[in-house]
Structure formats: C-alpha cells, structure tokens
Chain A
Amino acid sequence: MIELLTSSLRLSAPLIFAAMGGLLCERAGVATICLEGVLLISAFTAASVDLLTLNPIASVVAGMFAGSIFMGLHAFLTQKAKTDHIISGVAINILAAGLPPLLSQAWFGSSTNTPSVPTAARLSAAWMIAISLVLPLGIHYLIYRTRFGLRIRSAGDGPEALQTAGVSVEKVRTLALLLGGALTSLGGSYLSIGHSSQFLRDMTAGGGFIALAAVIFGKWRPIPVLFASLFFGFTEALPMILQGISWKGISIPVQWIQTLPYLLTIGILVTTIGSARPPRAIGSNQN
C-alpha cells in the first residue's frame, strides 16, 4: 500500500509540472499539445548537460532553457505567424522526437539512449516531488492574485478586453508560454535525471498528453488539476503493482495493464467533459 502511494507520487511529479505549465498556456488562450515535445526535449537536454557538467542544478536550468525555447517557438508560430495551434504543436512534437536521437547518436554514439548519469550527479527526486506538490499553490496565487495572472486569464477568456485596455495579448501569451515551458521542463528534467538516470528515447510515453487531460479534467484550475494529476499518477503506478498478481495461475498480460492509464484517462474525459468549460478564446488568434 505504502509502495503504491510512493510510486504514485513519483509518477505524478512530471505530470504535475507539465500540467501546471500547460495550465498557464491554456489559461492564456493557447492550445498546447506540444507539452509532450517540451517534456522530451528538456529531459534530453538535462541528461546531456548533466553528463557534461555533473551538476544537477545547472542541468535543470539548461532543461528549462531548452523547454522555453521550444515553447518560444510555439509562441512565435501561433502568436506572430498566426498558424493553427494544433499544427504548430504537432510540428514541435515531431521536432522534439527527432532531435534527441540525432544528437544522442552524434554525441554519445547511440540514438536510443544516453549513458547513465553517476549517482552523485542525479537530481534529488524527493525534493522535486516536494516542489511539485507546492507548485500548484504558487500557480493558484499567480493566476488569481497577481496582475500578470489577471492578464493571463483575460488573454484566454476575453482577449478583446485586454486589447482595449492597451495590453498586448500576444505579449501576455508569449510570456505565459515561456513560463509554462520552463515549468513543464522541470518535469522533463525530473524524468531523465531524477526519476531515472538517463534519457531513453520516447521516455515520456505520452505523459504530456496525459498532463493535458489532467488540465481538462481539473477544469483549468490549479488545485483541481493537482488532484487530477495525482490521480493519473496513481493509474500509472497501478500496473507496477498489478504486474505481479496472478489469479488461478493466470497472470494478466503486461500489455493489457499498460493500457490502463490511457483507458482511464479517456474514460474520465468522456464522462466528465460535459461539465468542463475551456477558456473561451482558446486556440484563437488575435489579428
């Protein structure tokens, strides 16, 4: 039981970081299916920099920087060039899937994974989990109690009003995306050098999309989104427990168990979506 709880917390942490990052972007009115790519590229950057410097803090910062650059690209494409948010997100995901294997092959001689980081240079998982649990409170404060938060909410719910007040919607959205990218990247760095000790190809396994589902399930509000992420982390931890169990000598095939988090995520989205209302101007471009 304790084991189940701790492993759910461990698996929730990247989801919480990504969900908080995604929440900021979506509240500002930008659809972010590129969370997955941002997680992946930050995980790879953190692992590579850690192998080079053996300094986990510098690696996390590098990961955040890389994630912000990718979100910055999303900001440029959606806000400046006015492309469709989903298409831009897909392009960024494809880019983030292609870049790590290429660089990993060139730097470490293997396109599927980086070498392992020495234990001393790993990120403290306990600290990261603690931060992930406190972060939603900070986001709650930022969104509901600060001027910048009000602007983020307006950019998502009533960009016309923001424009009328003389604030650039594009600027607010870009800032929200950069900040959201940095937060999401905490999750990526945690995955590669905190939770694990190396970068593996496709190691995020759809975590970015599950985080996005958590944002929807939590109705775009930080504290409910935290609980949604914890719940999804729990569903990811279940397979590890279920794997050992057999009933009358028949054990459940691991492939069936692996589908559990995705099945539950879809089940929840399909059954609860009726009551979830996204930010009004999400995905729209101001001209």
Chain B
Amino acid sequence: MKQLFSVSIALLVSLTFLVLLLFFMGEDLNALSEALQHTFLNRFGLGYTLFYTTPLIFTGLSVALCFHAGLFNIGAEGQLLWGAIAIVAFSRYFPNLPPWSAIPLSFVVAALAGSLWGFLPGYFKAKRGTHEVITTILLNFIALSCVNYLILYPFKNPESQSAETSVLPAGYQLQTLWFPTTPVNVSLIIAIAVAIAVYVLLFRTSFGFELRTMGQSPRAAVFSGVLLSQRTLAVFMISGALAGLVATNDILGNEHKLIEGFSPGYGFTGIAVALLARNHPIGIIFSSFLFGSLQNFSRELEFFSQNISKEVSLILQAILIILVSTRDFWQRRRLK
C-alpha cells in the first residue's frame, strides 16, 4: 500500500514534468492526450502496450531474482540477445517442426542460451570474486557484437538490404491473441505464469529461502550451511534463462525474424521494473505494465508531437527510479 502510494506520487511528478516539457518546447498539449489515448484507450494501443509489457516481466524477474540474492544482474540485455539468436539458429536446423513442438522447444532453447550467458558472470563472481556489475556490463557489449555478427553473416537474409535474419519457418510463428492486428501473443501468459513460478521459488521453497538469506546476510547464509559460490552460479543461470525468454515475444510473436537492435534496452528497463515492484515477482507484472505503457506512450508521443523524440521514456524512467528509491528520504524529511 505504501509502495502504491509512493509510485502514484512518482507518476504524478513525472506527468507534471512531461507537461512542463511539452509546454516549454512549444508543443500542442493535445499530443499528450492523443498519445495517452493510443496507449490505453483503444484496442490497438492497449494491444501494443501489452506487447511491450511481456519482455519487461521477463527482464524484471531476471533482475529481481538476483537482487533477492544480493546480486546485480545488469547483463539481461546480453542474455536476451543470445536467447534471440538461439531461436533463429534452432529454427534453421529444424525447419519442419510442427507448432506444438517448435514453440515449446523455442522457449526452452531461448532460456538455455540466456542461462549459458548468465553462467559467465556467475562463474566469475563465484570462483574469482569479480564484481558482477562490471562483468555483466562488459558481457553485454560482447554479446551485442557477436549477435550482430551472426545476424549479418551466418543467418543473414540474403534477399534483404537491412541487417536481419531470414523469416522463421511457419511452425515457429505465434498467432496473435485477443487483440487482432497487434502482436500480443501467448508469451504474455507464459510471462505471468513464470512470475508466479518465481514467486513460489522465492517464497515457498528452501532454495528461495537460502537465496533471500544470502541477500540479507551472506554470513548468516554461510553459517547455516549455504554454499555461496554454488548458489551464486545457480541464481545467475536462472536469471539468464528468464532474460533469454524475452526473445520469444519479439521473435516468435511479432517480427518472425531477428532484426539488429531489436531490443530498445529491455534489460536496463528491467532494473527499473524490479525496483518499482520492490523485487516482488507479482508486483513485477504490474510495474512491467507501467513501463510497457511508458514505452508505447513515448513512441506515440514521438508520432503525435513535433519535436519530442521517443527517448523521453528514458528520462521518465530515470525520474521514476530516483523518486521511488529515495522514498525513505522524503518520508524522513516529513517526520522531522
């Protein structure tokens, strides 16, 4: 409840900022209401908002799981890229699979690829003590280069001028759900199911209990017999798998091919998503919806305004992170 209140205040502040920004840039304020309508109020807009929600649930969970264990995963961006290219590669080798096996196997393959990339920072942290923040960030850059190479050479679509892979075989293409002409697909339901599964893992299993102990007091965890290095490795691999699943939404559900730079920073937005939900898996579903709408909204705002670029969503994101993470500070001040 307290969190809901502080998030509403943060949203109010960002909205005020946005109105001021539009005002000072000499924009028509109708652009704001048009963009809001096209984010929430019509079928098409809401469909896209939900489509943008799905990847954020996955990356938000990925970041949050690590947070619970006292670890930072800033590498979701790289992990999701490997998930995407893995689906493309898999479909290349098994082009004739029927949907009932192609789709579930694609989910598995994407998760496996992400978890392999997540293994690296986990291993470096567990065995060598290298801080995971810096390794995950550097691994993002490496993943980006490698995946771009794979898109441009081995998996390049020879008939296309732009940097993209060939279209996936028919068995790998997900149908849209509920919202015709928008790319919402079954990934959204899977994402919500995964969020519930992560909740159970964290709060209803001994593994989850160990993770949370480790996050709150590594010493207590060690004394109760938890092998920190082993758990670190496991957490990073699960986190990587969660991030890898992002690809299913875009690749299987929307484009049916991998385009260079397909992720507008889902991995980084995942940090904001997790923070806003205070790392609660169920809360993440809702905060993903919030950031998914923010992303769709800023796209629409770019379209309806004269001169606002869609990167305005990054600024609003930063404002939200700052306000929510300083909540205690503002409360202390009020008490004084």
Contact = CB atoms under 8 A, between A and B. Distances in A.
Interface of A: 33, 77, 80-84, 86-88, 90-92, 94-95, 97-99, 101-102, 105-106, 109, 111, 205-206, 209-210, 212-213, 216, 253, 255-256, 258-259, 262-263, 265-266, 269-271, 273-274
B321 interface: yes
A206 B315 contact: no
Interface residues of B, number: 43
A192 B217 CA distance: 44
Contacts of A106: 25, 307-308
Given A90-B74, A105-B307, A111-B309, A209 B138 contact: yes
Contacts of A80: 329
Contact of B315 (A86, A95, A109, A269): A95
Contacts, number: 127
A101 B317 contact: no
B317 A266 contact: no
19 contacts: A33-B137, A77-B322, A87-B321, A90-B74, A90-B321, A95-B314, A101-B309, A101-B311, A102-B309, A102-B311, A111-B309, A212-B134, A216-B134, A253-B149, A253-B152, A255-B146, A259-B146, A266-B135, A270-B130
B309 A91 contact: no
Given A98-B318, A269-B134, A88 B149 contact: no
Given A206-B137, A265-B138, A269-B135, A87 B275 contact: yes
Given A94-B318, A95-B314, 16 more contacts: A33-B137, A77-B322, A81-B325, A81-B329, A86-B72, A87-B275, A90-B74, A94-B317, A95-B318, A98-B314, A102-B309, A102-B311, A255-B152, A262-B138, A262-B142, A270-B135
Contact of B311 (A98, A205, A258, A269): A98
Interface of A is mostly: helix
Contacts of B134: 33, 209, 212-213, 216, 269
A90 B271 contact: yes
B179 interface: no
Interface of B: 25, 72, 74, 124, 128-131, 133-135, 137-139, 141-142, 145-146, 148-149, 152-153, 268, 271-272, 275, 307-309, 311-315, 317-319, 321-322, 325-326, 328-329
A237 B44 CA distance: 48
B124 A270 contact: yes
Contact of A111 (B130, B268, B311): B311
Nearest to B124: A270
A106 B23 CA distance: 13
Contact of B142 (A33, A111, A213, A263): A263
